[in-house]
């Protein structure tokens, strides 16, 4: 009896909520659209500024929308200092090396941690996560001195090593969780068939942890492509600059005396595109990686 | 499955590369930095043991305190904006209509672009004569002459930089809050509906308490990130005016690299690392509890 009354009351409030939500829905929809606009506007403005003709890109006060379209800014960027291809190759090379190093180190290590009876395993795991508690910003000076001694400053390998050190704890954590979740029956079947541990890793474990591998590679790419301070410290020679470094340098000095704003926007646009593309394509992996990396 | 001594050795072999890597590129630099912090060293002259002199010097150094206070101020202003803003965005976008999902994806886009690059973008937007911020404010009649946003007044620079960083990272907290909100069991939300609770009552009494741990963790992650701020200040103000907007990491960078005061820079690094450690330990304790 009381249950019926309560249910009816609940339905009534539900109905009221629904009519109110009719109006609220439009307001919230408008809020969503406003928020999207605010978030996209700076990016859109930068892309639009990158296709303004040279004179318009340097105009003060600036125009909102380009009055004519031109790729001149991209042309100037293409030949700026050592040329865009050099900086793109440096950024991409470092990012790919970082992905390779990170996977080559963390996949076997996570496999060992998840499957082998190693004495002091937990202690080793915590030690491998050392970089979590020491911010890399604080370790740059000794890293720089070491790299200078062994000739790794101004090299892509050196910068990739630094980026790998930054990315290692997160990657190891993700890989270990994923490998621990692979059903042991699969491996046991392979072992019964005479597979060595190495073959088990290659044929069973790696194929069944693909999502984790994609997540690790994705985060390594985005971090390395975007990282600024480490690159600033390690790369002093212009020819080894990454994209963020050359753009930061171009913000103050150009051949004409003032900042070449159009060229800067062209560079910003080019830096942003890979990140946004990779994110939109692999959003699922990105969000799940973030959840398990940051919160759990 | 693998029990023998041999399999133990195989396991160690798989672990060895990562172990050697962390020893060489994290543990060793940490030890060397500690050693350096007790020495006076400038690369040109040989290192000389000076005990705690570098640390004492830091605490007597005005710029150290200016940088530290400025970093704290930046952190104190930006953290509530990121957490409250991120949470409101999460409440708005955690429901699964198409528009809400698109909004979630859009708000997250700036998170994946580089902080350096986004700082360059905002350096342009806030530029006095060439930036769209001044242009828009002038066209709206809010200002009569262009505002000098960056590098002239520390507080105004800080506000401009905070606006740019909020834009850049607000999606980070949002996406984690969305995850936490969506993990609340449906029965609990429905039960509060039956109780006739209004939306905000439901948020205050059900949603917020059940996602509080995530809120705390994101707050700590965000505080740590802000205390380590560098890129945005290096690019947008270069520490100007008079190093008033040089953050703690910026000051470490200045001492270690352009000034080559390696020992002093190392001592500053250690102080910074210890400050961060306090927050990291709390964060790790909070996240560990989730496994229990």
Domain count, chain A: 2
DSSP string over B245-277: T--HHHHHHHHHTTS--HHHHHHHHHHHHHHHH
The three-point CA angle A159-A275-B229 to 5° equals 60
Q: pLDDT band at residue B119, thresholds of 50, 70 and 90? A: very high
Residue B147, chain A, CB below 8 Å: the answer is no
Chain mean pLDDT for chain A: 88
Asked if A108 and A159 sit in the same domain, the reply is: yes
Report the complex ipTM: 0.91
Angle between helices B5-22 and A84-115 (to 10 degrees): 150
What chain A residue is nearest to B221 in terms of C-alpha separation? A294
Do the chains contact at A275 and B266, CB–CB below 8 Å?
no
pTM, to two decimals: 0.91
Among A40, A168, A261, beta carbon nearest to B124: A261
Asked if A168 and A151 sit in the same domain, the reply is: yes
Do the chains contact at B12 and A127, CB–CB below 8 Å?
no
Q: What is the pLDDT of residues A153-180, one digit of tens each?
A: 999 999 999 999 999 999 999 999 999 9
Nearest chain B CA: its distance from A235 CA (Å): 12
Query: The domain containing residue A141 runs over which residues?
Result: 74-295
Pick the last residue of a domain from A72, A97, A130: A72
Asked if A124 and A46 sit in the same domain, the reply is: no
Q: pLDDT band at residue B197, thresholds of 50, 70 and 90? A: confident
Q: What is the DSSP letter of B1?
A: -
pLDDT for the residue numbered B26: 94
Among A7, A165, A187, beta carbon nearest to B1: A187
Task: State what percent of residues in chain B have pLDDT above 90.
Answer: 68
* CA A56 – CA A54 distance, rounded (Å): 6
Residue A275, chain B, CB below 8 Å: the answer is yes
Mean pLDDT of A223-248: 94
Q: pLDDT band at residue B2, thresholds of 50, 70 and 90? A: very low
Q: What is the pLDDT of residues B49-84, one digit of tens each?
A: 988 999 999 999 999 999 999 999 999 999 999 999
Do the chains contact at A32 and B287, CB–CB below 8 Å?
no
Among A17, A131, A247, beta carbon nearest to B26: A131
Residue A132, chain B, CB below 8 Å: the answer is yes
Residue A41, chain B, CB below 8 Å: the answer is no
pLDDT for the residue numbered A253: 67
Q: How far is CA B111 from the centre of its chain?
A: 12
CATH at residue A151? 1.10.3720.10
Residue A202, chain B, CB below 8 Å: the answer is no
Q: What is the pLDDT of residues A110-141, one digit of tens each?
A: 999 998 888 888 899 989 988 888 899 989 99
Interface probe, candidates B11, B197, B246, B285, chain A, greatest A C-beta count within 10 A: B11
What chain B residue is nearest to A118 in terms of C-alpha separation? B8
Domains of chain B, each with CATH number or no CATH: 61-289 (1.10.3720.10)
pLDDT for the residue numbered B283: 83
Q: pLDDT band at residue A296, thresholds of 50, 70 and 90? A: very low
pLDDT for the residue numbered B291: 46
Do the chains contact at A130 and B14, CB–CB below 8 Å?
no
Residue A87, chain B, CB below 8 Å: the answer is no
Mapped onto helix, strand or coil, the DSSP state of residue A68 is coil
Token pair belonging to A60: 């003060």
Within 8 A of A133 by CB-CB distance, chain B residues are: 277, 280-281, 284
Contact A165, B25 (CB under 8 A): yes
Do the chains contact at B125 and A145, CB–CB below 8 Å?
no
Pick the last residue of a domain from A19, A42, A72: A72
Asked if A184 and A128 sit in the same domain, the reply is: yes
Asked if A42 and A136 sit in the same domain, the reply is: no
| pLDDT above 50 for B281 | yes
Asked if A166 and A39 sit in the same domain, the reply is: no
A68-72, B2-6, B159-163: range with highest mean pLDDT: B159-163
Q: What are phi and psi of B48, to 5 degrees?
A: -130, 130
Provide the chain B residues 161-190 that lie in CB contact (below 8 A) with chain A. 167, 171-172, 175-176, 179-180
A12-21, A40-49, A279-288: range with highest mean pLDDT: A40-49
Asked if A133 and A201 sit in the same domain, the reply is: yes
Pick the last residue of a domain from A45, A72, A99: A72
Residue A268, chain B, CB below 8 Å: the answer is yes
Asked if A147 and A221 sit in the same domain, the reply is: yes
């Amino acid at each position: 009896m009381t249950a019926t009354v309560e249910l009816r009351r609940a339905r009534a409030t539900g109905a009221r909520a629904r009519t109110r939500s009719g109006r609220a829905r439009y307001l919230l929809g408008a809020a969503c659209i406003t928020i999207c606009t605010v978030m996209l506007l700076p990016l859109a403005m930068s892309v639009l500024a990158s296709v303004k003709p040279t004179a318009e890109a340097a105009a003060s006060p600036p125009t909102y929308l380009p009055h004519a379209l031109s790729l001149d800014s991209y042309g100037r960027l293409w030949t700026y200092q050592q040329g865009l291809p050099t900086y793109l190759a440096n950024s991409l090379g470092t990012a790919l090396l970082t992905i390779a190093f990170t996977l080559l180190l963390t996949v076997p290590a996570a496999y060992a941690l998840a499957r082998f009876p190693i004495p002091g395993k937990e202690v080793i795991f915590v030690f491998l996560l050392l970089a979590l508690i020491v911010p890399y910003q604080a370790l740059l000076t000794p890293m720089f001195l070491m790299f200078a001694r062994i000739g790794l400053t101004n090299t892509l390998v050196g910068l990739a090593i630094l980026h790998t050190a930054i990315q290692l704890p997160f990657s190891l954590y993700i890989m270990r969780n994923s490998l621990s979740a692979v059903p042991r029956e699969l491996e046991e079947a392979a072992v019964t068939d005479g597979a060595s541990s190495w073959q088990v890793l290659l044929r069973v474990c790696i194929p069944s942890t693909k999502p984790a591998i994609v997540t690790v590679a994705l985060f390594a790419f985005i971090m390395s492509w975007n990282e600024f301070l480490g690159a600033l410290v390690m790369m002093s020679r212009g020819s080894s600059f990454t994209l963020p470094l050359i753009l930061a340098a171009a913000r103050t000095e150009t051949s004409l005396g003032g900042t070449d704003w159009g060229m800067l926007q062209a560079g910003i646009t080019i830096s942003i595109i890979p990140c946004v593309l990779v994110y939109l394509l692999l959003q699922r992996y990105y969000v799940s990686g973030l959840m398990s990396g940051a919160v759990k | 499955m693998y029990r023998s001594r041999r399999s133990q050795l195989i396991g160690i072999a798989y672990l060895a590369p990562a172990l050697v890597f962390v020893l060489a590129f994290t543990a060793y630099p940490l030890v060397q930095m500690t050693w350096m912090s007790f020495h006076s060293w400038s690369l040109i002259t040989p290192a000389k043991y000076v005990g705690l002199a570098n640390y004492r010097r830091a605490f007597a150094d005005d710029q150290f305190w200016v940088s530290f206070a400025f970093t704290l101020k930046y952190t104190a202003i930006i953290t509530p904006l990121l957490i409250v803003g991120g949470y409101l965005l999460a409440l708005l976008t955690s429901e699964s209509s198409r528009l809400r999902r698109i909004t979630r994806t859009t708000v997250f886009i700036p998170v994946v672009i580089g902080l350096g690059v986004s700082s360059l973008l905002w350096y342009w937007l806030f530029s006095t004569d060439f930036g769209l911020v001044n242009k828009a404010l002038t066209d709206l009649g809010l200002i009569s002459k262009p505002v000098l946003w960056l590098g002239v007044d520390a507080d105004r620079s800080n506000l401009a930089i905070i606006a740019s960083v909020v834009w850049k990272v607000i999606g980070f907290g949002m996406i984690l809050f969305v995850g936490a909100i969506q993990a609340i069991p449906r029965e609990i939300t429905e039960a509060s509906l039956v109780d006739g609770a209004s939306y905000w009552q439901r948020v205050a009494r059900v949603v917020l308490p059940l996602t509080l741990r995530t809120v705390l963790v994101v707050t700590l992650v965000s505080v740590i990130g802000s205390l380590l701020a560098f890129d945005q200040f290096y690019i947008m103000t270069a520490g100007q005016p008079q190093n008033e907007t040089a953050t703690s990491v910026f000051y470490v960078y200045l001492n270690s690299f352009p000034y080559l005061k390696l020992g002093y820079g190392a001592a500053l690094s250690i102080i910074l690392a210890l400050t961060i450690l306090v927050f990291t330990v709390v964060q790790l304790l909070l996240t560990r509890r989730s496994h229990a």
